[in-house]
C-alpha cells in the first residue's frame, strides 16, 4: 500500500559515502511484507519530520542517510558510513520486494551545535530498510497537471486560409508520447505522458471526440464537413495519461488521473463556390468579366 502523496524523503543522498560491496557487508536485514513496510515507513516518518525543519537551526543538528548495514553480530548495528565493515558474522536475508527496489537501512547522526563538525563513526540505525513501493512518494493528478506538457500537434488539410462547404476538412495529430523530468520534494522522477483522447471543436457547433489520431490525405479518417459559409477556427484538446519512474526504483507506476492541453488553428473562412463555363481563362489579364 502506498502512503499519502509526496512523502518528504531525500533519496538524492541515498547511500552517500558507502563503501563498495565486500565481505562483511549486506544491504538489507531480512524483513519482508508488512514488517518491512512498517519499519521503513516509521523511519521515513522520522526523516519527514526532520525535513519539515529545513531552514531552521534545528535542521542543521541532524543528518539522515540510507546505506548498507554490516553483517556483524552485536548489540549495536554498524554501517560502512562508520568505517570499513568488520568480517561477516553469520548470514542475513534480504528484504523481499518483488520487482521493486529494496531500500537500505536508514541511519542518523547528530551534533550539539550547528557550528560543530559532524562526528565521524557516529551513525546510528533508525530503521532496517524496506521496499521502495511502500514509502516512495506518489505522483498525483495535480503533480501531473503541473508538468509542462506540450500543446497537441494540430494539422489541417487543406491549410490555405479557406475551406469549402460540403467538402471534407481533414484534421490529424501526433500521438507520440513525451518524456519529462521532474522531482517530488527532491526525488528525481521520469514521467512518460501519452495523448490518448482528442476533442476537436470545429467552431460551428460541432465537436468530435476520438481516440484516433487521424491520418493525412489520402488515407484520412478524421474530418468534418462545414454546412454554411463563415469564419471560424478549429480547437484541439488533448487528454494525456501518464506513468512515472522514481530514481532508484525500476518499477513504472501509473498516474491516477489525466491532464489536458489545447491548440488551435489560425482563423479561416468557409466558402461556397460554384463552377460555370467562361469565355476565357480566369488567369487572363484583364480577367474576363464572367469569372
For the stretch 60-107, pLDDT in tens is 999 998 888 888 877 788 899 998 888 887 765 555 676 666 778 889
pLDDT for the residue 44: 75
Residue 249: CATH number of its domain: 2.60.40.10
- Do 207 and 118 fall into the same domain? no
Question: Alpha-carbon distance 198 to 220, whole Å?
Answer: 16
* Residue 12: other Cβ atoms inside 10 A: 12
Residue range 256-275: average pLDDT? 93
With a cut of 90, say whether residue 244 has pLDDT above it: yes
Mean pLDDT of 216-232: 96
pLDDT at 100: 65
What digits encode the pLDDT tens for the residues 45-56?
A: 788 788 888 889
223 within domain boundaries: yes
pLDDT score of 276 more than 80? no
> 253-290 b/e with 16+ CB inside 10 Å = b?
bebeebbebeeebeebebeeeeeeeeeeeeeeeeeeee
Residues 106 and 198 in one domain: no
Q: In the chain, what's the furthest Cα-to-Cα distance? A: 108
Burial of 58 (C-beta count, 10 Å sphere; 0-12/13-18/19+): exposed
- Do residues 236 and 173 lie in contact, with contact meaning Cβ atoms separated by under 8 Å? yes
* Total number of residues shown for the chain: 291
Number of domains in the chain: 2
Are 125 and 177 members of one domain?
A: no
Rounded to whole angstroms, the Cα distance separating 94 from 30 reads 4
pLDDT mean across residues, the chain: 81
DSSP 44: H
- What does the pLDDT read at residue 149? 97
- Higher local confidence (pLDDT), 181 or 248: 181
pTM: 0.58
H or E element in which residue 261 lies? strand 259-264
Residue 36 has pLDDT above 90, yes or no: no
The verdict on 187 and 264 lying in the same domain is yes
Amino acid at each position: 500500500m502506498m502512503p499519502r502523496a509526496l512523502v518528504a524523503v531525500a533519496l538524492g543522498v541515498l547511500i552517500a559515502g558507502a563503501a563498495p560491496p565486500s565481505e562483511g557487508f549486506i544491504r538489507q536485514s531480512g524483513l519482508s511484507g508488512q514488517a518491512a513496510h512498517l519499519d521503513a515507513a516509521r523511519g521515513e516518518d522520522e526523516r519527514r519530520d526532520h525535513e519539515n525543519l529545513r531552514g531552521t537551526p534545528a535542521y542543521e543538528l541532524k543528518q539522515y542517510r540510507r546505506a548498507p548495514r554490516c553483517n556483524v553480530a552485536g548489540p549495536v548495528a554498524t554501517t560502512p558510513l562508520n568505517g570499513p565493515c568488520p568480517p561477516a558474522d553469520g548470514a542475513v536475508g534480504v528484504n523481499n520486494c518483488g520487482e521493486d527496489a529494496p531500500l537500505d537501512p536508514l541511519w542518523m547522526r547528530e551534533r550539539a551545535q550547528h557550528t560543530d563538525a559532524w562526528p565521524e563513526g557516529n551513525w546510528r540505525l533508525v530503521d532496517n530498510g524496506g521496499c521502495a513501493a511502500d514509502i516512495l512518494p506518489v505522483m498525483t493528478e495535480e503533480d501531473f497537471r503541473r508538468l509542462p506538457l506540450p500543446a497537441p500537434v494540430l494539422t489541417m488539410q487543406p491549410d490555405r486560409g479557406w475551406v469549402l462547404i460540403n467538402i471534407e476538412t481533414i484534421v490529424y495529430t501526433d500521438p507520440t508520447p513525451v518524456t519529462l523530468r521532474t522531482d517530488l520534494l527532491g526525488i528525481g522522477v521520469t514521467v512518460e505522458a501519452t495523448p490518448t483522447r482528442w476533442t476537436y471543436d470545429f467552431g460551428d457547433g460541432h465537436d468530435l471526440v476520438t481516440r484516433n489520431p487521424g491520418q493525412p490525405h489520402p488515407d484520412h479518417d478524421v474530418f468534418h464537413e462545414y454546412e454554411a459559409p463563415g469564419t471560424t477556427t478549429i480547437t484541439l484538446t488533448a487528454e494525456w495519461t501518464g506513468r512515472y519512474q522514481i530514481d532508484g526504483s525500476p518499477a513504472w507506476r501509473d498516474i491516477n488521473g489525466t491532464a489536458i492541453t489545447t491548440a488551435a488553428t489560425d482563423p479561416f473562412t468557409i466558402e461556397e463556390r460554384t463552377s460555370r463555363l467562361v469565355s476565357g481563362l480566369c488567369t487572363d489579364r484583364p480577367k474576363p468579366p464572367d469569372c
